[in-house]
Structures are given as C-alpha cells and as structure tokens.
Amino acid sequence: MRIIKVKNYDEVSVKTANMILGQVNLKPDAVLGLATGGSPVGAYKKIVEAYNNGEVDFSGVTTINLDEYRGIKRNHEQSYWSFMQENLFKHVNVREDHIFIPNGENLNSEEVCREYDKIIENAGGIDMQLLGIGLDGHIGFNEPADHFEKNTHCVELTESTIEANKRFFESKDEVPRQAYTMGILPIVQAKKVIMIANGKNKADIIKKAFTGPVTPEVPASILQMHPDFTLIADEDALSEI
C-alpha cells in the first residue's frame, strides 16, 4: 500500500489524473474502472485538459463504471451515465460501445448483475480501478455488511449514503434507495487500484479502513491486502494517521 500525501484537493486531482493518463499512454487499450461522486470530478477535468492538449488518446480504452442507481432513467440528470457523460465521456474520444455502466433502467436485478459480471470477464478484468471512499467505508456501493459481496449485486443503500447523496437531488425523497454495484472481487482483482480522499470528514474512515482490521463492516479495508494499491489524499484526510 502506498500513500501519496498532498496539500489540497487540486493536488489530489493532478496526481490521480497523471496516474490514469500514464496507464492509458502505457497501454492504449487499457480497461479503466471508473467512479462517480464528488471525489473524481477534479481528476476528470485534468484528464479532459490533457486530452485537449493532445496528450492522450482514448480511442482504444474500455471503461467499466462501478455502479448505477436502480430504477433511474439513463438520461436522468442524476444518473451515473449522465454524470460520466458530463464530466468525461463527451469531452474525450472514448468509443460509446466501449463504455459500460450497469443498466439502472432494468429492474431485473438478477439479469443486470449476471450481464455486468460477464462484461467485466469479457474485458479481461480491470487494469486500473479508481475509487472514492464513503463515510461508512463503502467502495462503489459495497456497503458495510457481515460479508464481502464478491460479484455485481443489487444493494439497499444505507441511510448515511442516502443522506450524503441527497445534495445531488431536489429532495432526500428523490434519492433512489437501491443501486447496482460491481462486487468486491473485480475491484481487488484489478491490477492497480487508486483511491481518492480529501477533507477532514474522511479522516476517521481513512484511519479505520487502513489502520484497523480487514472487515466487511468497513468494505474499503479489503484494499490493505491489494498488491498495488495507492491512496492519494490531502493533509486533512490523512490527519488521523
């Protein structure tokens, strides 16, 4: 496990973007596992800047996102499909048929999950997985539980996750209560994993996840066992370790 400590969120974003750009330039047909939420937005902006400067080519890249809300329309402004389009995909030359996000419109959970696991398998696994971390230690939508869910599954979102995500919706009542998420297995099988963390509010969970025991009650703690895991965090997020 490597920890890269930087001063602020902008430096977190620069370091993260540089690692992703390095992966794509090293392997033009790389499979990138991508994340949504507030944490990666800055990195995506830096990646778009690099693309506009002719520093990277995404035409051979495959992207596999971590998760999507269940029961949300693809074109809903708060779907993760829309998030990725707005923050990255429509600004770079990634092929649309190489973009994979769970189908939130399909309410048949078993079918969605089976198909998504097949997509990951057919892609040959993930070369570099990008993650944030929830205040309860979730990665993707792998919430605290009594066991690690290996494969893609439908999850009931916890109250803390709903509370954290309500800022993106007009009211808390509009936040979906379920989501489809990639399981723990393809995350830990990714060749490289990068986690972004910033802000004082992440300090406690960073301490629990990376200095405490490996437990499904803190899903991110499993990354202590990954052979090539990098945590990129600012001083505030690392203030308790």
Positive or negative, the CA dihedral 157, 80, 218, 121 is positive
CB 140 within 8 A of CB 66: yes
136 is catalytic: yes
Cα distance between residue 205 and residue 207, in whole Å: 5
Q: Judge contact between 15 and 2, C-beta under 8 A.
A: no
Tokens of 151: 């494969």
Q: Phi, psi (5° rounding) for residue 195?
A: -120, 135
Which residues does 108 contact at the CB level (< 8 Å), separation at least 6?
none
- Which entry of 68, 117, 127, 136 is annotated as an active-site residue? 136
Would residue 67 show up in a list of annotated catalytic residues for this protein?
Answer: yes
Buried b (16+ CB within 10 A) or exposed e, 75-114: ebebbbbbbbbebbbebbebeeebbbbbbbbeeeeeebbe
Token digits of residue 167: 């800022």
Q: Which is catalytic among the residues 117, 127, 143, 236?
A: 143
CA distances from 204 to 127, 135, 240 (A): 29, 8, 7
Q: How crowded is the C-beta side of 120, counted as CA atoms within 13 Å? A: 31
CA-CA distance, 74 to 80, in Å (whole number)?
Answer: 8
Active-site residue (options: 68, 127, 138, 226):
138
Q: Which of 67, 127, 234, 236 is catalytic?
A: 67
Catalytic residues: 67, 136, 138, 143
